[in-house]
Amino acid sequence: MVKGVLGLHHVTSISSDPQKTLDFYSKILGLRLIKLTVNYDDPSTYHVYFGDEIGHPGSVLTFFPWSGQPRGRKGTGQATNTSFSIPQESIPYWQDRLKSHSVSQEATRKRFGETVLSFEDQDGQGLELVGNNENEGRTGWTQGPVPREHAIRGFHSVTLSEEVLERTESVLVDTLGFRLVGQEENRFRYEAGKGAAGTIVDVVSRPNAQRGFVSVGTVHHVAFRAADDEHQKDLRQEIVKADLNVTPVINRNYFHSIYFRERGGVLFEVATDQPGFAIDESPEQLGTRLALPPWLEHSRAEIEKNLAPVSLPNRVVA
Ligand code: ZN
């Protein structure tokens, strides 16, 4: 039996405006901008990475800002919520913080015994903060605008909305090694690896709901962790065995990736933990300049000319 994925690696979403994206996620949510680069498949647009101090797998939320593209629609065949883990005691702090930045939020509710605070970003991206006290070893970004004790500790989970639960469940469980750990009404919870925050996928079963449309304000894909290239190779074989159409390994500079669509329609990726974000910038300097992979560096002048100028968040914001 091949070892399953270790948990969530990153989530990539689509936004409308690079500057508004930088401001929301670094200044309001207090995530660290760990990499400003371009979309390797379309170098005329940015690819922006946020995370904890060094962008540990399981903390990384990335954006393709697609200016001028239509707004997406949340629905089935989509990842409809990205949830971050915070200490349970920090829920009131975050309610106040979101309010003071005029971010509308829903009343908190309980889910699997944990407190969930739901809100959206400027493009309608579905976000949640989940009060959770299983965050040992996850510190978040401690030099941002959010006090260290309240900092986001990386992902809690991702929620997929699906028409046919079983189709997606078979991919999660039989191919990627997740296990079903709970059910509340039409929500089914799966964990990978060691379990707990950062390894959780919830599937909400909505047989009669409208299908989603992936564009601005929705999730583009969800990436899971492979320990290394060898592990990824084993997982790729499992994906092939399941008759899913998977790409060859693609070099994403900071990790190596394979992509496939799960049976409900969500684009999945399996990405390696290595080499990480410090291969082209020192840990102190992450996200302070436009980083380009070696194969695009020779076109830097032209690429920079075609990108909208952005002002990067201050390293330390009082
Ligand atoms: Zn990705």
Instruction: Tell me, in angstroms, the distance from the centre of ligand 1 to residue 13's CA.
Output: 9
Instruction: Tell me, in angstroms, the distance from the centre of ligand 1 to residue 222's CA.
Output: 7
- Count of CB atoms within 10 A of residue 70's CB? 11
Q: What is the pTM of this model?
A: 0.96
Instruction: Tell me, in angstroms, the distance from the centre of ligand 1 to residue 9's CA.
Output: 8
Confidence of residue 314 (pLDDT cuts 50, 70, 90): low
| pLDDT tens digits for range 105-146 | 999 999 999 999 999 999 999 999 999 988 778 889 999 999
Handedness of CA 160, 164, 167, 169 (dihedral sign): positive
Instruction: Tell me, in angstroms, the distance from the centre of ligand 1 to residue 221's CA.
Output: 6
Q: Tell me whether the omega of the peptide bond preceding residue 275 falls within 30 degrees of 0, making it cis.
A: yes
Q: Average per-residue pLDDT in the chain?
A: 95
Instruction: Tell me, in angstroms, the distance from the centre of ligand 1 to residue 38's CA.
Output: 13
Give me the domains of the chain, ranges plus CATH numbers.
8-317 (3.10.180.10)
For the segment 30-48, the average pLDDT, to the nearest whole number, is 96
> C-alpha 313: how far from its chain's center?
20
> Which single residue is written with the structure tokens 């797998």?
57
> C-alpha 64: how far from its chain's center?
12
For the segment 227-248, the average pLDDT, to the nearest whole number, is 98
| pLDDT tens digits for range 161-187 | 999 999 999 999 999 999 999 999 999
